[in-house]
Chains A and B, each alone.
Chain A
Amino acid sequence: MYIKLANGIVYDPVHGINGEHRDIYIKDGHITRKPSSNAKIGKTYDLKGKIIMAGAIDIHTHIGGGKVNIARMMLPEDHAADLVEKTDLTRSGCGNAAPSTMTAGYRYAEMGYTACFEPAMLPANARQAHMEMADTPMVDKGAYAMLGSDDFFLRMLASKKDQAAISDYVGWIINATQALGIKVVNPGGISAFKFNQRQLELDELNKHYGVSPRDILKALVRAVTELGIPHPLHVHGCNLGVPGNLNTTLETIRAAEGMRMHLTHIQFHSYGTEGDKNFSSGAAEIAEAVNKNSNISIDVGQVLFGQTVTASGDSMLQYAGHWHAHPKKWTIMDIECDAGCGVVPFRYRDKNFVNALQWAIGLELFLLVDDPWRIFLTTDHPNGAPFTSYPHLIRLLMDRSFRNDMMSTINKEAAAASTLSSIDREYSLYEIAIMTRAAPARSLGLKNRGHLGSGAIADITVYSNNKDKEKMFSKPDYVFKGGEMVVRNGKIVKVINGATHTLRPEFDNGIEKTLKRYFDRYQTVSLGNFKIDDDEIVEHGNGKIIVQPCM
C-alpha cells in the first residue's frame, strides 16, 4: 500500500530539485520510486501549491543532559509563562529556554523537524543524556561525546602516546557512550580551569599537562578522521565570547591543516576589538576564511533578543561570563575529572550595543558565507535563543526588507558598526532546504535522511508557501515521520518515539585493559558501569538504536 503526496512543489537539494512539481510515493516508511500503474495507492494527499522538503535536522541543540536539567531546576521563572497542559495525545510540561523534554520533542516536530542532535554529552553524564533523549518524543536524536579536557586523554597526550592509541580511546568512548560524533569544548580549558587557569589561548599550555589546545585539536581531528567518523570534529573553540577571538578562530581554522573540522556557534567566536567599545564584528574575516577552506563547516549560533539561558560545557568561560547573569544566579560544575559545565541565564537586549552587534554578526555570517552546504542554521539552543525562534531567523535570512526593519530597531551604534544593511543577499527556499536538511544530514553521515530520493526514510515536511516566511516555517501543513503523519496544521496528531543514532567505529579494544586499570585507580565509577549498553537505551521505550556506518 502506497501513500502519494501529489502535485507538491519539491525542494530536494541532494537531487538538485529546486522547486519542481513532483509526486512523492511512500511505502513501508520509505520514499519509493513511482510504482507501476496497477499498484494500490492507499492514501493520496493533494498538495497542490504546497512546498515539500525533507524533515528538518538540527545539528546542534542542547536538548538533553545534566546542564539542561540544571537550567530547568534553577529557573522556575523561565517556565511560568509557558506551561503546557496535557492533552489526550500529549504529555504536559513547559516550554521556553529550558523546556521539558516532551514539550521540546513536540515543538520540534510542530516546526517540521524530524531529528535533533545534542552536541555536548559529557561521557560521565552520558547515561542521563540518553535518558532525557529517550523522553524526547517525535524526533530522531543522537549526541556527540565531549572530549579534550578529560584526564585520560590529556594524560595520553602529555606522555606522547602514539596517535593510534589516542584514536582507540576515542573509538572506545564513542562505543561506551553511544555517541554519533566527537565534540571538543574550549580544548583543555575546562581542565585548566580546575587548575585555576582563567584563560587558555590556542598555543598556551595547560599548566598541569603541558599540552596546548592546538595539540588537542590536532589529535582529535586525526582520531575522528582515522576512525572514519562521518561528522567532522565538532569544535567549540578557545575564547568563546572574548573580544578579539576572531584571530583565535582564524588560527583554529589553520590548525585543522586542511582536515575536516566543524566550528560550532561560530558567531560567539567572531569578535574583533575595533571601535570605541573595543568590540566589533569579525564576520567578514571569518566568512572569508570559511569560504576559502572547503574542509571547514560551521553552524552559526545566532543570537535573538529576549530572555534565555546559556548552558555550556565551557566552565572556564561560563565562569568568566557569570557577571552578566540575568537574573543574577548561575551554576558552575567541575565534573569527574572528565569535563564541566556552566549555566548562566542571560537576556539579550536589542538596545544593548554588544547584544545588538552579536545579533548582526550572526546574520552577517549567514549572509557572507557562500556555500550553504557548509553552514547550518542554529541558535545553539538555548544559548543564543530558544530553538522555537528558528522560523523568525529564517525570515531574517529570506526577507531583506524585514531584516532592515529589524535593523532599524536595534542599538544605533551597533547598527552603524555592522555591514548588515549593505548586504542584499536573501536566502532562497532551496538554500534553506540545504542548510536545514541536506547539509546537516550529509555532515552527520545520515545517508537516508535529509533528502526525498528513493530509499530515503519518509521524514517529510509540507508547508504552505507564504510571503511571511516566519509564518510559513512556524506551522507546517503536514509532517511525516517514517511515513506516518505525525503533525497536521502545526499540531501533533500522533505521538511517536524517534530512534537514537549511534556509531560503532572499529578500534583496538586492547585499550580497555589500560582503561580498566585507570578507572580502578582513579575513578569513582568502574569501567563496566561507565559503559552504556544497547538494552539500556531501548528499554526506556524510545524504540531503537540506528547504527550509522563509518566512512
Chain B
Amino acid sequence: MDKTSNTTPAITRDVICPFCGILCDDLVIQNQDERLTILENGCPKAVTSFESDIPNNSPKIKGKNVTLDDAIDAVCHILKKSHAPLFAGLGSDAGGIRQAMHLAEKTGAVLDHMHGNALIRNTLVLQDLGWITTTMSEIRNRADLIIFAGTDATNFPRFFERVVWNKQSMFNLKHDDRQIVYIGDTLDTKAGINPNGKRPTLLNCKTEHIGEIFSSLHALVSGASIDVTQIAGIKLSTLKKLAEQMKSAKYGVIVWSPADLDIPHAELTIQNFTEIAKFLTRFTRFAGFSLAGNDGATTANNVCAWQSGYPLRVNFNKGYPDYDAHRYSTSSVLKNNEVDALLWISSFSSNVNSPRASIPTIVLATPDTKLNFKADVYIPVSTPGVDHTGQLFRTDSVVALPLKQVRQSPYASVNSILKQVIERM
C-alpha cells in the first residue's frame, strides 16, 4: 500500500481481536494510510492495541542495530551452541507455535508459556479428575445461573456484553432469567448489574477461602448438614440459599480465571468448582468455564498437545517430549540453571517482558518492547491478527478463529523468523 497517499480508507469487518482470550470477532476497523481506527465494537484494550502506531525499531545484536538476516544468524549461533535452551513467552499464533515446537525439538528445548503458572492450574485439574465444561455460545444462550468464582472478568472486557447481557438468545432467556453471583475478594461487580438494574449477589471472601466456600456448597447440595453459623465470613444461611439456587438452576455455569487465583492451592480451588459442577450434573445441568488464553496461551497449549501428546510444559532435551508441569516452568529452570539459552516470544503485547537471565537471551517481541537489559539478540515482530493472518484458539479451547491482516507491518512474523532459523540450522 502507498503510505503517502490520502486514499479512501479501507474498512474491514468481522475482525478478530487477538488481545484477550475471548477473541471478539465483530470489530470493524478502518485503515487510513496504515493507521488503524476501530469503528465498532472496540473495548479499551482493543483500542489501545490496534490504534497505537507501529513504533520504529530494528533487529539488534547486543543493543546495536543489525539487519534481520544478521539477527537470524545470531539466533542460530546461540541455539547451535546451546545444549539446553528454554523457549518461553510463546505469545504467538498457531503457525508461530508450530515452528517453535519444531525448533524446540531440533534444539532440545524446554517450552513454557508466559502465562504458564495460570495454565497449569487448569491442566492439573483436568489430569486429576477431569471436568465438565462449556463454551461461550452455550453460556450466551442457556446459562440461567452464572457464578463468578474469584474473578470479575474485567480482564476480558466484553465478556458480559458478548455472552451475559446479549439481547437475543436461542431459548428466549431474558435478562431477568439470569442470576449472577460473585464469590471472592475486591471484585468489581458493576458489569454484573442486569440492564434492568437488578444487582448481582456478592459473597465477599478472601481468594484463599473460595475453595472452602465451594466445598461447603458441595456439602450442602449433596444434603449434608454443616454445624457452623458461618464459613469464611459468609453466613451459612447465605450459602444455603445459594445451594438451593444452584440445585434449581437449569444450566448453571461457574466461571473462573486461573490467573486471578494466584494462591498456593489454586488447583484445589478450581477442582472445588469442577467437582460441584460434576455433582450437580447428576440432577441438572452445570458446567465450568475458564477465562484465560491471553497472549495465545490456549493456542500454545493445544498445538503442544497435538504435536507432542502433552500440554505445556514440555522438555525436548532427550529427543522425545518429557512433560512436567512444575519442573519445566520458566522460573524454575532458570533458577536451577537447567537451561543455557533463552528464546523469548511475545507478539501480542509488551505487558509481560522477558525475564533477565544470565544466559544468552534472544527476544522476539513487539516493536514497542522496552527491556531492562540488553538482549543478545532482539528482533521486533509483527502481531498476528493485526499485521498478518493466522489462527488463534479462544479460551474455551474449542473455537479457533482465522485472524485477519488489517495493516502492513515492516516487521516479520514469529512464524517466518523461526522458519528461517530452522532452515539455517
Contacts and interface: CB of A to CB of B under 8 A. Distances in A.
Interface of A: 64, 66, 68-70, 72-76, 79, 83-86, 91-94, 98-103, 122, 124-125, 127-128, 131-132, 135, 151, 193-196, 208, 319, 325, 328-338, 343, 521-526, 528-529, 532-533, 536, 539-540
Nearest to B138: A334
Contacts of B398: 66, 122, 124-125, 128, 333, 335-336
Interface in B1-33: 13-14, 16, 25-26
A374 to B, nearest CB: 33
Interface string B164-182: 0000111100000000000
Interface in B125-158: 126-138, 140-142
Contact of B308 (A85, A92, A128, A338): A92
B14 A196 contact: no
Interface in B251-293: 251, 281, 284-285, 287
A338 B138 CA distance: 9
Contacts of A69: 302, 305-306, 397
A86 B105 contact: yes
A94 B98 contact: no
Interface string B241-254: 00000000011000
B137 A72 contact: no
B307 interface: yes
B335 to A, nearest CB: 24
B309 A196 contact: no
11 contacts: A73-B305, A73-B311, A74-B127, A79-B321, A331-B132, A332-B133, A335-B135, A335-B138, A336-B399, A337-B138, A529-B401
Contacts of A127: 391, 399-402
B302 A522 contact: no
A547 B154 CA distance: 45
Given A73-B126, A131-B391, A208-B171, A334 B135 contact: yes
Contacts of A196: 250, 284-285
A525 B132 contact: no
* Residue of B140, B169, B399 contacting most chain A CB atoms (<10 Å): B399
Given A76-B323, A79-B323, 11 more contacts: A79-B321, A83-B321, A93-B320, A122-B398, A131-B400, A151-B141, A151-B170, A319-B281, A524-B135, A528-B13, A528-B14
A335 B289 CA distance: 12
A331 B397 CA distance: 13
Ranked 5 nearest A-B pairs via Cβ:
A94-B309, A329-B130, A127-B400, A100-B309, A336-B137
A124 B391 CA distance: 14
B94 interface: yes
Contact of B391 (A85, A521, A536): A536
A208 B136 CA distance: 20
B251 A194 contact: yes
B198 to A, nearest CB: 23
B123 interface: yes
B310 interface: yes
Given A66-B397, A100-B308, A127-B400, A333 B170 contact: no
Interface in B303-326: 303, 305-311, 316, 318-323
B199 interface: no
Contacts of A319: 281
A150 to B, nearest CB: 11
Contacts of A338: 137
Given A128-B400, A196-B285, A92 B105 contact: yes
Given A72-B310, A86-B320, A331 B126 contact: yes
A99 B94 contact: no
* Residue of B105, B138, B318 contacting most chain A CB atoms (<10 Å): B138
B35 interface: no
B348 interface: no
Contacts of A66: 397-398
Contact of B168 (A83, A128, A333, A522): A522
Contacts of B45: none
Contacts of A343: 130
Contacts of A70: 126, 397
Interface string B388-403: 0001010001111110
Contacts of B138: 194, 334-337
B115 to A, nearest CB: 16
B132 A333 contact: yes
B137 A337 contact: yes
B374 interface: no
Given A91-B102, A521-B168, A522-B169, A194 B320 contact: no
Nearest to B401: A529
Nearest to A342: B132
A128 B302 contact: yes
B163 interface: yes
B308 A135 contact: no
Contacts of B137: 124, 336-338, 522-525
Contacts of B323: 76, 79
B162 to A, nearest CB: 6
Given A72-B310, A92-B319, A337 B126 contact: no
B170 A73 contact: no
Contacts of B400: 125, 127-128, 131
A93 B126 contact: no
A233 B122 CA distance: 37
A355 B373 CA distance: 62
Contacts of A194: 138, 142, 251, 285
A99 B309 contact: yes
A128 B307 CA distance: 13
B310 A524 contact: no
A93 B141 contact: no
A532 B401 CA distance: 9
Nearest to A344: B130
A534 to B, nearest CB: 12
A416 to B, nearest CB: 36
B308 A93 contact: yes
Contacts of A539: 95
Nearest to A328: B129
Contacts of A325: 130
Contacts of B316: 86, 92
A22 B309 CA distance: 43
Contacts of A72: 305-306, 309-311
A112 to B, nearest CB: 23
Given A66-B397, A319-B281, A522-B137, A76 B130 contact: no
A181 B393 CA distance: 25
Contacts of B94: 131
A540 to B, nearest CB: 8
Contacts of B168: 521-522
A74 B130 contact: yes
Contacts of A331: 126, 130-133
Contacts of B132: 331-333
Contacts of B127: 73-76, 329
Nearest to B302: A69
B98 A135 contact: yes
Contacts of A93: 307-309, 320-321
Contact of B306 (A101, A529, A532): A101
A100 B322 CA distance: 13
Nearest to A92: B320
Contacts of A64: 306
A81 B137 CA distance: 38
A524 B391 contact: no
Nearest to B94: A131
Interface string B81-109: 00000000000001100100010011000
